[in-house]
Amino acid sequence: MRMTVIGCGYLGAVHAACMAELGHDVVGVDVDPEKIAALQAARAPFYEPGLPELLERTMASGRLRFTTDIAEAAGSRVHFICVGTPQKKGEFAADLRFVDAAVNSLLPHVGPGELVVGKSTVPVGTASRLAAALQAAQPEAHLVWNPEFLREGFAVQDTLAPDRLVYGLPGGTAQQAAKAVMDEVYATPLSRDTPLVVTDYQTAELVKVAANSFLATKISFINAMAELCETVNADITSLADAIGHDDRIGRKFLNAGLGFGGGCLPKDIRAFMARAGELGADQTLTFLREVDSINMRRRIRMVDLAREVCEGSLIGRRVAVLGAAFKPDSDDIRDSPALNVAAQIRLQGGDVVLTDPAALDNARKALPDIAYAETVEEAVAGAHVVLLLTEWKQYRELAPEALAPLVAEKRILDGRNALDPTRWRTAGWTYRALGRPR
């Protein structure tokens, strides 16, 4: 099937390559010429495991190409909208500028019988509004809302083998035809057993933000328990293991530490609260405000802990920060807890030296007034305290004996509960973590 993917960021680039992998003929469109130039050369414009190989393979097959010219959407059976919906500056609400621009530029090129399929995370009600615009421009085309649940770092795998598919379909006579096209899009051996939820636009839109709100709530719940563990010197990791054995709770997303960041969870819960307010249902989601506050408090606590182990002041203290990305296997620093902590420590007079295996370039641009190092060894040289803030595999595997001769003081703060406290303490280090006994 010939299809268009509009927006070639973390979502769209992966979606386009995966659709080509499934055998479709795909054109990816983006307004950013730099991004398109990279993709045209089969280079991923961001770090995502497996994506470079997939791009190379699908582009060599001739099934995937990229352009800045939206007119090339003409003739596609399906047009996916994959642009970002960031948080508005100074407000909680989502900024729909890119969605509206993408749809408006697409409309003149949509033909009869074609589908426009929204994948971006949007406030409930957006799909109906876009469907009306589509109807006005091309009465014989239809809109489907098909939210995406991929995780960065696992984006290729999540797209090719999703947990579930959700189709928000138009009502009336268009429904069956729209569903048949969607089934053809995802008709692969992999998705044959994928659970499918067929519903209306507003439910499909809500599913996405409800899922992300639940995940954020789960993380903040365990981080609230971590705060209590700190008060009574209990151990959050044992607590999470113990409650996680109950299948109704589950151990996943109960990793306490610095909390959630990234381009999705933080802005999605805020946009959800803002939308509920607009709908006159603000009370319904006030708990998400608390979810957000618990999350932000963890960052402050980490800075306080660093100051505490440095005898009450960070001024002139050399602080090695391991990690800038909002999570491992990503170069994404949007709302990164690690970078936020590094910035706060700098503000309090600490001499920060930060390293990260993938996000250094992005971090340098966002936070130019700290020092950067290419390697862990360089970063920790002469450090008064080492902070592990993003749990990259290579940081989890660090050996206390190897780092000891490099640092000025053997102190490590584990912001992600990624290290074995006994091992570090036995090697003579002061080990502190969020939610674990001293």
Q: Which residues sit at the interface with ligand UGA, rule CB under 6 A?
A: 121, 148-152, 212, 215, 219, 253-255, 257, 259-262, 264-265, 326-327
Based on CB atoms, which residue is closest to ligand UGA, 121 or 217?
121
Count of Cβ atoms closer than 10 Å to residue 4 Cβ: 28
Q: Six-digit token pair at 217?
A: 């709530």
Q: Is 273 helix (H, G, I), strand (E, B) or coil?
A: helix
CA separation for the pair 9, 32 (Å, rounded): 10
Q: Give pairs for 126-132: CB < 8 Å, separation 24+.
A: 126/96, 126/99, 126/205, 127/168, 127/201, 127/202, 127/204, 127/205, 128/201, 128/202, 130/99, 130/103, 131/170, 131/201
Q: Give pairs for 230-236: CB < 8 Å, separation 24+.
A: 230/301, 230/434, 230/435, 233/437, 233/438, 234/437, 235/435, 235/436, 235/437, 236/417, 236/434, 236/435, 236/436
Query: Smallest distance from the beta carbon of 388 to ligand UGA, in angstroms?
Result: 12
Query: Smallest distance from the beta carbon of 56 to ligand UGA, in angstroms?
Result: 23
Beta strands in 55-163 (DSSP E): 64-67, 78-81, 115-118, 142-145
Point out the catalytic residue in the list 8, 18, 229, 264: 264
**Cβ proximity of 202 and 128 under 8 Å:** yes
264 is catalytic: yes
Query: Smallest distance from the beta carbon of 379 to ligand UGA, in angstroms?
Result: 20
Query: Smallest distance from the beta carbon of 402 to ligand UGA, in angstroms?
Result: 25
Residue for token pair 């970078």: 339
Q: Six-digit token pair at 188?
A: 């692969």
Based on CB atoms, which residue is closest to ligand UGA, 186 or 253?
253
Query: Smallest distance from the beta carbon of 28 to ligand UGA, in angstroms?
Result: 18
Based on CB atoms, which residue is closest to ligand UGA, 78 or 294?
294
CA separation for the pair 330, 328 (Å, rounded): 5
Based on CB atoms, which residue is closest to ligand UGA, 123 or 262?
262
Query: Smallest distance from the beta carbon of 218 to ligand UGA, in angstroms?
Result: 7
Based on CB atoms, which residue is closest to ligand UGA, 298 or 317?
298
Based on CB atoms, which residue is closest to ligand UGA, 143 or 294?
294
**Cβ proximity of 79 and 115 under 8 Å:** yes
The residues, ordered by sequence, that sit 6+ positions from 336 with a Cβ below 8 Å of its Cβ are: 261, 262, 324, 325, 326, 359, 390
Based on CB atoms, which residue is closest to ligand UGA, 58 or 336?
336
**Cβ proximity of 355 and 373 under 8 Å:** yes
Query: Smallest distance from the beta carbon of 253 to ligand UGA, in angstroms?
Result: 4
Judged on CB neighbours under 10 Å (0-12, 13-18, 19+), 47 is: buried
Residues forming the active site: 264
